[in-house]
Amino acid sequence: MPHQPPNQPQPLTPPRDPQLVLLRHGETEWSRSGQHTGRTDIPLTEAGEEQARSAGTTLARYEFAAVRTSPLTRARRTAELAGHPDAVVDEDLAEWDYGPVDGRTSRDVSEELGREFQIFEDGVRVLPPSPEHGDGRPGETLEQVAARVARVVARAEETLGAGGDVLLVAHGHLLRVLATVWLGVDPRLGARFELGTAAVCLLGYGHDLRTIEGWNLAAQ
């Protein structure tokens, strides 16, 4: 294999058994500033587009039987740049509807509450609906997000059970909740799973259990 410069991503080698592969979208202005980005539909930055291309190189050896993406622009563009322009849009992969927290940083919310804000513990309905944030929607509960991703997992397992790999292109908090659903644990544990922009995660099976085989993998 020819030597590649150290700044070039190295492709992962797919295992023999099928995997559910997760890809978070690339950087946006709000992900860079730490603002919660739920249903607000903003584009990737130039750096985010480059991250998406690198993720595509990382996953280049996979032959996915199914590729699904969030309907939001930042995810669909990431899927396209990663080499999957025909990814099927799945509404259940949209990011957590943050409602009154949308567009705010955790620090902003903490200052308004007068205490530290932890989204996986507090949810987003700690603030009243606001037309300036989330178009006045109350936002989703964590349990509602978990129910959505459970449907995604059920659909993915149909393909995994037939021996095919599945790629899901979506969002940070949504994918962290999905990991907890995959493992069958409390969705609040998603707070413990850090996930960077355009990072790859690998979910699979071991000893008849759902497992995490790789998490928060930057371009390899």
Q: Contact, 31 vs 37, CB < 8 A? A: yes
Q: What spatial distance separates the first Cα and last Cα of the chain, rounded to whole Å?
A: 16
d(CA 142, CA 188): 8
Longest dimension (CA), the chain: 58
Counting every residue written for the chain, the total comes to 220
Residue 37: closest CA among 153, 172, 184, 156: 172
> What is the C-alpha separation between 26 and 16, in angstroms, rounded?
28
Full DSSP string of 96-121: ---GGGTT--HHHHHHHHTS---HHH
Rounded CA-CA distance 12/125 in Å is: 40
Neighbour tally for 184: CB within 10 Å: 8
Q: Give the residue numbers marked as catalytic.
A: 25, 95
Cβ distance 181 to 157 under 8 Å? no
36 conformational bin, left if phi > 0, alpha if psi -120 to 50, beta if neither: beta
